[in-house]
Amino acid sequence: MIQMKAVQMYEHGGPDVLKYEDIPEPQIRPDEVLLRVRACALNHLDLWMRGGLPGAKIPMPHILGSDIAGEVVRVGELCERIKPGQRVLLSPGTSCRQCEQCVSGVDNLCRRYTLFGAGRLGGNREYMPAPEYTVIPIPDHLSFETAAAAPLVFVTAWHMLLTRAGLQAGEDVLVLAASSGVGMAAVQIAKMFQCRVIATAGGEAKLRKARELGADHVIDHYQQDISAEVKRITDRRGVDVVFEHVGAATWPKSVESLASNGRLVTCGNTTGYDVKLDIRYLFSKHQALVGSFMGTMGELHRALKFVFQGKLKPVVDRAFPMPEIAAAHAYLENKEQFGKVIVVP
Ligand SMILES: [Zn+2]
């Protein structure tokens, strides 16, 4: 039996539960390809999955990693589109492909929707099987590391801004934590749609990078009052769209930053989920609070067009060799990065 390297976890806990070890190379099914993984990006999901979520049990040992790029080594007999040797990335999300939601194109609402590294084994290994429908060829000029940095955050930010918040050209957008993966993606998407972007970040270096990404105004969320700054920049009007994913730490300021008819869209709660809401402003100012989870396969293909053309640029902060994955997790956990953290098998 051929052996390969993988990072497995047998229990939830700190970065030290991640074990770099030999396991047998996986078999593929007829509708799957075998991928030689060349780069895998970290997401907050990796940290949640590693630490364990109340009520969510996963089979052990587990392999993390949702954002995956590599080369196709073999294809199963039912594969028609993808050929061995192609450079590709994978859609992070998988679904049943048969239910009403899936065939309506909203596969992210499928009851069997899950992600590599979450409900199924992920990309922190040298070789992995992937259903052919998840495989998306990438152009030669795109590095595996940059390709791996793209899918999860760009599909999430695209779905949030355009589909859920109904972003229109010319609107004002507040992007929380531009240094995060989704924040980095949101700043660029909003700018591509000719919006004025106010971005928050922590510290001078990150504020400068947010500006370089295209943010028109920046706010230091450790030093400044977010909503007061938003009101000052917008001449007391507020913004049309607030792009939230931070949760408890920023929620009150995010809500205060909304203009009349404003939409707050959220995809996460990295600082906590329990928030307060004064509903008087919600109805009297005609505002909307919108949840968002991942995005559809169609939106992923749409967003990636712009990544492949170089109009949207996945920002890679740093790549770690896969044996040092525990250090990569700690690095992301300590919020040291701007953009994506990658592990390379
Ligand atoms: Zn389905």
Average pLDDT, the chain: 97
Identify whether the C-beta of residue 257 lies closer than 8 Å to the C-beta of residue 289: no
Query: What's the confidence (pLDDT) of residue 168?
Result: 98
96 Cα–ligand 1 center, Å: 4
Ligand 1 centroid from CA 292, angstroms: 18
Say how many Å lie between the CA of residue 335 and the centre of ligand 1: 35
Mean pLDDT of 335-340: 92
- Token look-up 């205060």 returns 256
Give the pLDDT mean for 163-185: 97
Ligand 1 centre to CA of 39 (Å) is: 28
Distance 111 CA to ligand 1 centre (A): 6
Distance CA 67, CA 41 (A): 5
Rounded to 5 degrees, φ, ψ at 62 are -115, 150
Centre of ligand 1 to C-alpha 290, Å, is 22
Distance from the alpha carbon of residue 54 to the mean position of ligand 1, in angstroms: 25
In the chain the first and final C-alpha atoms are separated, in Å, by 20
Tell me the CA–centroid distance for residue 105 and ligand 1, in Å: 9
Q: Could you give the 3-state DSSP secondary structure of residue 154?
A: helix
Give me the mean pLDDT over the 105-131 stretch: 98
Instruction: For residue 114, give the amino acid letter.
Output: T
Q: Is the pLDDT of residue 327 over 90?
A: yes
Taking the centre of ligand 1 as the mean of its atom positions, its distance from the CA of residue 68, in whole angstroms, is 22
Interval between CA 133 and ligand 1 midpoint (Å): 13
Residue 273: φ, ψ to 5°: -110, -10
Distance 29 CA to ligand 1 centre (A): 19
For 160-213, the DSSP string reads IIIIIS---TT-EEEES-TTSHHHHHHHHHHHHTT-EEEEEESSHHHHHHHHHH
Band (pLDDT 50/70/90 cuts) for residue 18 is very high
Cα of 131 vs centre of ligand 1, distance in Å, is 14
**58 phi, psi to nearest 5 deg:** -125, 150
**Longest CA pairwise span in the chain (Å):** 67
pLDDT value of position 6: 98
For residue 158, how far is its CA from the centre of ligand 1 (angstroms)?
21
Q: Among candidates 256, 207, 205, which has minimal Cα distance to 228?
A: 256
b/e burial code for range 285-308 (CB count within 10 A of at least 16 → b): eebebbebebbbbebbeebbebbb
Tokens of 119: 């409900």
Ligand 1 centre distance from Cα of residue 98 (Å): 5
Contacts of 56 (CB under 8 A, 6+ apart): none
The CA 104 to ligand 1 mean position distance, Å, reads 9
Residue 79: the pLDDT is 98
pLDDT in tens, 279-290: 999 999 999 999
Q: What span, in angstroms and rounded, lies between the C-alpha atoms of 215 and 223?
A: 18
Which pTM was predicted? Answer: 0.97
pLDDT digits (tens, 9 = 90+) for 48-68: 999 998 877 899 999 999 999
Does the structure show a pLDDT above 80 at 1? no
Residue 207 and residue 205: Cα distance in Å, rounded?
A: 6
Q: How confident is the model at residue 60, as a pLDDT?
A: 97
CA 323 / ligand 1 centre spacing (Å): 36
> What is the Å distance from ligand 1's center to 132 Cα?
16
Give me the pLDDT at residue 56, please.
78
CA of 134 to the centre of ligand 1 (A): 14
Q: Express as a percent the part of the chain with pLDDT over 90.
A: 95
pLDDT at 160 over 90: yes
State in Å: Cα 100 to ligand 1 middle.
7
C-alpha 257 to ligand 1 mean position (Å): 37
The length of the chain in residues reads: 345
What is the band of 12 on the pLDDT scale with cuts at 50, 70, 90?
very high
Q: Are strands 196-201 and 172-175 parallel, antiparallel or unpaired?
A: parallel
CA of 125 to the centre of ligand 1 (A): 27
